[in-house]
Structure 1
Amino acid sequence: MNVHHQTRATLLAQGHTRRSIQAAIRTGELIHVRRDRYLTPDVDDLVVRAVRVGGRLTCLSLLALLGVFVLRNHQLHVQVAPGAGRLRAPDDRQRPAAAIRAGAVRLHWTEMPEVPQSACAVGVVDALVHAILCQPPRAAVATLDSAVHLGLITMWQLAEVFARLPARFQVLGTFVDGRAESGPESLIRLMARRLGCEVRLQVSFDGVGRVDLVLDGWLVVECDSKEFHADWAAQVRDRERDLALAGLGYCTFRVTAAAIMYRPDEVFAALRGLILSRRAV
């Protein structure tokens, strides 16, 4: 995200005067975020709030803004330099310490000399490093899958992410697969691997189309979201696909994205029951 704040000096160099700067703030053409930090009104509010705190947008906040899958996030994640002072709350209704204590803000105290001083967000690699440290392992893998799938990082940059992390995180790299087209798909793949399943992703069948996963050569898993499966016509198409797959000798396990994300224990138990039923035969 290539967003930079401006200072009074840069605005004056562009031809503004002190009077015109004040006029631009009154008319909403400029936002005076904090002392000597100005942004234009088209900048996302998350970025504005991070700069108001005194740092740069990072971690889950930045990644979600870029469209990367994030399992859960109820905080504003801000990178600040170690020893930084004069931190503020993201809005004027709270004191900084109160916002942090309440969990509204998560500060990442890291030096980033390579990032321009005027940058309002860290780079994607830095955000992913923070995201791995901030999430449980399965959620971190799903986030990495998503970043690779969206083309936001290359495999070389993925290696760079892990090079910046402690050794205990290196094992997560072996689970990353950019073919996953959604976070829930990544999460259920990890469940299947935990059960020792052979996993195939994005498998195409003649007369059916592409399915999310095939486990152990017989169980098709489809991760349904409201976006694509809400109306009756979509549900009919799903049932027709299931019928066609049954004719080919496949069973279908269809589960909602919400269940995968927020009731993982139930989904894992159901998946385990299905897999073990066939293995016991």
Structure 2
Amino acid sequence: MSSEQPWYLTTAAPPGIVQMLLFGVRPTCLDGASLHGVWTPPHTGAHVFRPRVLRVDAELEDARTHPVRRKAGEVITLSEEAELVLHAPALRAWPGHDPVPDLALVLTHAAHCLPVEKAAVLFESGLQRRLLTRRGAEQILASLPQRIRRPLSRIRADAESGTETIVRWWMESRHFPVRPQVLFPDRRRRMDLLVGRSWVIECDSREFHDDPLSYDADRARDLYLASRGYRVTRLSWEQVFLRWKETQTMLLAILRRGEHLDRPRT
């Protein structure tokens, strides 16, 4: 495929990666994590990187790339319409011959690029799927600036979905009492999140819900918890990733009533 790299194009090549390689860039951050099998939240644009060079290819300029920058902790870009998000690591050469860099570099880029809760989604998915070890995660965190490393030190290995990570992270950042993966009273199953003493939040991880067996099992879980005196709220993928601000407002309204601090009413 390339005169510089020993790659051969096959039908198994992931969609989109070929165009990136033709541009002279490689996937990283959200796109690289997805290729490693990490669960990733929805995003626009393709996150790519390349070593520092003196010359910018005309083709790459035409692609309307922009480097990632941070200002007051927020990610800003040079162009809202850019198709590629160009990460700028301090590298003089490619880190290896593989068109997809190793997961440690991908997550390092993600930590610098993404809001902390979305970077946490990638780390926690990698840990939960055993694509990343706890020691490996700690080594990545140790290499980050303190302003990024400190909040990410809360990552866990038992989050079962990106929606669960986002909701838990939001509650923890506002100092609401929340515990993940608490055992049911029957001790055979686990709650996604237990808020206070009696409010259970179940987080759907699927964008589309077309499995009748899962639907039935979810409702059976909800009914069992309600019978034991718990309040149960089920949040969909869409509520967390497409309508998150609206969802936060409603969650806050419930939390401010303080009913989650009561014991389950059996």
Alignment of 1:118-197 (within 5 A): 118-197=97-176
SS in 1 for 2:100: coil
Deviation at 1:154, TM superposition (A): 1.5
**Greater helix share, 1 or 2?**
1
1:167 Cα offset (Å)? 2.0
**Bigger Cα Rg:** 1
Whether 2:35 is the aligned partner of 1:71: answer: no
1:52 matched residue in structure 2: 22
Q: Unaligned regions of 5+ residues in structure 1, if any?
A: 1-31, 89-94
What is the aligned length?
242
Segments of structure 2 that go 5 or more residues without pairing to the other structure are 66-80
Shift of 1:84: 5.7
- Distance in 2, matches of 1:170 and 1:150, equals 22
Aligned sequence identity (%): 26
Q: Which residue of 2 aligns with 1:255?
A: 235
Between the aligned partners of 1:73 and 1:273, the Cα distance in structure 2 is 28
Provide closer, same or farther for how the CA distance between residues 249 and 242 of structure 1 changes in structure 2, counting only shifts above 3 A: same
Kindly provide the CA deviation profile for residues 189-232 of structure 1, in whole angstroms up to 9, marking residues without a partner as x. Answer: 01221342322222232187322111112101011245685455
The answer to whether residue 260 in structure 2 is matched with residue 270 in structure 1 is: no
Q: Which residue of 1 aligns with 2:226?
A: 246
**Letter paired with 1:175:** R
TM-score by structure 1 length?
A: 0.75
Query: Pairwise CA RMSD of aligned residues?
Result: 2.7
Moved more, 234-243 or 245-254: 234-243
Alignment of 1:115 with 2:95, yes or no, is yes
Distance 1:269 1:53, change over 3 A: same
Equivalent in the alignment of 1:14 = none
Q: Which residue of the partner structure matches residue 97 of structure 1?
A: 61
Task: Using the TM superposition, give the Cα deviation of residue 267 of structure 1 relative to its aligned residue in structure 2, in angstroms.
Answer: 1.8
Q: Is the 8 A contact 1:64 1:70 kept in 2?
A: yes
Contact 1:61 1:73 (8 Å CA) reproduced: no
Matches within 5 A, 1:188-267: 188-205=167-184, 206=186, 209-226=189-206, 229-230=209-210, 234-267=214-247
Q: Any conservation in 2 of the 1:58–1:79 contact (CA below 8 Å)? A: yes
Q: What is the CA distance between 1:62 and its match in structure 2?
A: 0.9
Deviation at 1:136, TM superposition (A): 1.2
